[in-house]
Amino acid sequence: MLILEQKNDNEIGIYAGMVTSTFALAEFSTGMMWGRISDRIGRKPVLLIGLAGTLISMLIFGFAKSFTVALIARALGGGLNGNIGVIQTTVAELVREKEHQREFSLLSSGSSMV
């Protein structure tokens, strides 16, 4: 259980929003960087780094004993999760152009399940 600085039930929404937006902001801030790195070192290593980053950040988040550590874990997860753009680029490179519509719809529906 997280030990929060303010133990007020009315502020749970604020804390949840901070945790969620921290991940999104970190992912937004590093997405282009991961795209450039994948152009340099390849798609597969970047995807593996993203998976490892997700694993590490989820473990830290799961064992966090303070709200600050939870925020840092989510920021780390977002910063190391540049996979969305890299996966879309990989699909575009591997699939024939006439199948793009179908494959990208499958990619979108698959990512919404997570």
State the pLDDT confidence band at 87, using cuts at 50, 70 and 90.
confident
Could you state, in order of their start, the residue ranges of all structural domains in the chain?
A: 12-112
Average pLDDT of the segment spanning 85-110: 69
Six token digits for residue 105: 């719809």
CB atoms within 10 A of CB 51: 13
Tell me phi and psi for residue 4, to 5 degrees: -90, 150
More confident of the two residues 106 and 114: 106
Give the pLDDT confidence of 25-64 residue by residue, as tens digits.
Answer: 999 999 889 989 998 998 899 989 998 999 999 999 999 9
Residue 91 has pLDDT above 90, yes or no: no
Residue 110 scores a pLDDT above 70: no
Both ends of the chain: CA-CA distance in Å?
A: 23
